[in-house]
Chain A
Amino acid sequence: MEERIIIAGFGGQGVMAIGQILTYAGMIENRHVSWLPSYGPEMRGGTANCGVIISDEPVGSPVVVNATAAIVMNKPSLDKFEPTVEKGGKLFINSSLIDQKSQREDIEVYYIPANEVANELGNARVANMVMLGAYLEVTKIVDLESIIEGFKKVFGEKGDKLLPINKEALKKGAEVVREQMKAMV
């Protein structure tokens, strides 16, 4: 089993962070993992992305070309990475910022109003965790406890205060997507 995820959005939306949290969680569960970011000037205000691989085998190429899943936080990311998702893969669209439907019919697509959910929780910055919560609910790639551990690793002590709201965001993301999963069945 090898999960290859692309996470993309504007710089500042926390796409690198949720990629790292997910990678940590995989490592905590003794899987083989890698995290590869885009880097350079595009990071500043443009579209940032990272590729995460969680595998039962040692990771070969860390470059995600045929993604098993993609989390896209803004429209340029949808345009860029929609074709990257392999047949049967999963696409998570932040419908708060992307008013466009996926053109793909050979993949599972989920629409998560991440910014709205985050705003309801009182902190717009946790939109990324809403997306991550939805992704985990659908894929069950790692346990929620491992994600919490990963969060602590990535944010260290300064993350302590923010942990409750981030947990809440993960939960809300899962709830939102659960509705859609029911509708799909």
Chain B
Amino acid sequence: MSAILKPKSKLVVCDGNEAAAWAVSLANVDMVAVYPITPQSSLVEYLAKFIADGRLNSEIVDVEGEHSVLSVLQGACLAGARTYTASCGPGLAFMFEPYLRTPGLRLPLVMTIVTRDTLTPQSVCGGHQDAMSVREVGWVQMYCESVQEVLDTTIMAYRIAEHRDVMLPVNICHDGNYLSFGAARCELPDQDEVNEFLGEKDVNWHVALDPQRPMAVDPLTGGAGGPGPSTFVRYRKGQCAGMQNSLKVITEAHEEWGRRFGRHHAPLVESYRMDGAEYAIMTIGSMTGAAKDAVDAARARGDKVGLVKVKTYRPFPVEALVSALAEVKAVGVVDRSVSFGWNCGPLYQDTIAAMYSAPRRIPAMSFIGGLAGADLTVAHFERVIGRTRELALDGHAAETVWLNEKD
């Protein structure tokens, strides 16, 4: 069977980094600031090439470090530009100060994290640790499963970030190595259709560097008296409200994308073969493909297992997840990163927190794998499925399982 292609779309073979660059080009971004770092480098090199070739009409600033990358983009955004960058690992760490300020300024910046494990020990390979380390800062975070989803989500990110009920920066996370350099067939949507989908940009209606409407940006607030504390609380509550609003906006954007382009990606969580499932495994990012194949094989053997993939990780889709897990007796959660404070994976930690609001408690176990470039294969997920099946039978959760400890 060949895929059915929309008449005006174009089929290419590209890796995830190139797919992201195509998306940025299709989103008509005005301003790109870059500092290359492995495994993100080729992404910003593609952007530089698209701009040099005249395919993308954007300013590009090759700055001296990631701190400046985001500072430049904040200024551009305040001046009304649609903005983009990509980073990862140590670069993201160096970006942290302006990264913290971006959501408070309510700037709809879009940044790809080509995920990479954090130092130390030294490694330049993939893992979610960098993105997970900035999960509580107030950026929306979505994790992609495939090259096509990278392209589609990067375009959707602008509609989500710039929505008046959200006005927050968005990270699209795609796995270093497996998605950044993994190539697959990918449909490029038609430019006019993308323009219609995104609509007119209006990114600085609320806060601007504009001589025609001078205003104080980022006022001094806080303290123990006067209007300071309540102003600060108003800002903070507004940010939290924007995050919660994004759940609906993300869902609507994915639905509209599916209608227009014929590709339906689950917006918050995806339930895969959960009908009649007695237990479930949970995944995030590019590991999901191998996990789905393992679930199919287990189902063929008569094991009643399903899979729940988390796409939107921040804000955490509590309601959608609780509903997805409503019928199962146990869950095994696979993370590609570590929560040092809890000796488990962060997705596992969020899952059990979310399940506290569920009508009944189910046993859960944490699995950690795919760190620093390690492969997560069908065989690994067969182990996760086997252990979660035991958990559903006896209810005895063990300590965190490290999948690549021996293989």
Q: Do A and B bind each other?
A: no
Which residue numbers of B lie inside 8 Å of A, CB to CB? none
